[in-house]
Amino acid sequence: MSKLYFTQDHEWIRVDGEIATVGITEYAQDQLGDMVFVGAPDIGSAMSAGDVAVVVESVKAASDVYSPIDGEIVEVNEQLSSAPDLLNRSPETDGWLWKMKIANTAQLEGLMDAVGYKSHIA
């Protein structure tokens, strides 16, 4: 059973065992507008919480996407390089950005659940 968390910077993180899938929230993509480019981190690179992992560019602006926790990049969503609008159509499912092996599960305790995130964006 996966568990879903959110950051104050509008990333979501879905945890399945020791692997976390990361993306941006519906709210974030709505604020950014139509995506025209989505970068990808290098597989095998180590990330610390707060590191810039990806840059996404929309018709409005370029925006950094931060790693919510420490870990190692194990997979990137290759579909986004040719179809960046997938991030607009399905930001919290098919439009995921990267997967990482979690280095420190205790960091998850500092993130918000869905109720907390809804309060944060209200």
Spatial CB neighbours of 62, under 8 Å, sequence gap ≥ 6: 55, 56
Q: For 18-61, what is each residue's pLDDT tens digit?
A: 999 999 999 999 999 999 999 999 999 999 999 999 999 999 99
Q: State the residue for tokens 């059973």.
A: 1
CATH number given to 3-110: 2.40.50.100
Determine the pLDDT at residue 1.
73
Spatial CB neighbours of 43, under 8 Å, sequence gap ≥ 6: 73, 74, 75, 76
Q: For 66-105, what is each residue's pLDDT tens digit?
A: 999 999 999 999 999 999 999 999 999 999 999 999 999 9
* Cα-based angle 23, 4, 58 (whole degrees, multiple of 5): 20
Question: Confidence class of residue 120 from pLDDT cuts 50, 70 and 90?
Answer: very high
What pTM value is reported for the model? Answer: 0.95
Determine the pLDDT at residue 85.
95
